[in-house]
Amino acid sequence: MEKVLMPNEVMLGEISRLIEEGHEVLMIPKGISMLPFIRGEKDHVRLCKPGKLQVGNIVLAYIDGRYVLHRIYALKGDRITLMGVKGVVTEIITPEGRSHKPGKAWLWRHTIGLRKYLLKIYRKTNKLLNHNN
């Protein structure tokens, strides 16, 4: 598979179009908003057209003129906390080729006050592990 680099808005707009047509798309996300579940510029994610959305799904959404990959925190009737969902992550693939289905992160969603400390521990541990390799 050939790796293609392009601006985020162009790439994610094209990915959104392909998903809408019913294709599955494999991409390498950027950023740190989904740490520790998805590591930007390292892990791959597989996206497909959303079916029934559930709390905890990781979705590609279009919000305020930009695309974001984030988790659904609440659903109430026809309202979801993220508007403009374009695709849903069905698989996370590490650089080593291991893949897994994303969980619903129940504990993560209910530990908002602890997250910054958990992420600090994660980053320090990850830095130590990578430094020793």
What is the band of 21 on the pLDDT scale with cuts at 50, 70, 90? very high
Domain assignment present for residue 84? The answer is yes
Domain assignment present for residue 68? The answer is yes
Residue 131: per-residue pLDDT: 67
Name the token pair of 40: 């930007």
Tell me: cis bond preceding 7? Omega within 30 of 0 counts: no
Residue 133: per-residue pLDDT: 57
Domain assignment present for residue 66? The answer is yes
**The CATH number of the domain where 20 resides is what?**
2.10.109.10
88-96 mean pLDDT: 88
Residue 1: per-residue pLDDT: 65
pTM of the complete model: 0.62
Provide the domain limits for residue 53.
Answer: 8-132
Please tell me which residue, 106 or 76, carries the higher pLDDT value. Answer: 76
Domain assignment present for residue 127? The answer is yes
Domain assignment present for residue 51? The answer is yes
Domain assignment present for residue 24? The answer is yes
Least trusted range by pLDDT, from 17-31, 32-46, 77-91: 77-91
Structurally, how many domains does the chain consist of? 1
Residues 59 and 83: beta-carbon distance below 8 Å? no
Domain assignment present for residue 2? The answer is no
Long-range contacts of 105-109 (CB under 8 A, 24+ apart): 105/37, 105/56, 105/71, 106/56, 108/37, 109/55, 109/56, 109/71, 109/73
Domain assignment present for residue 1? The answer is no
| Average model confidence (pLDDT) across the chain | 83
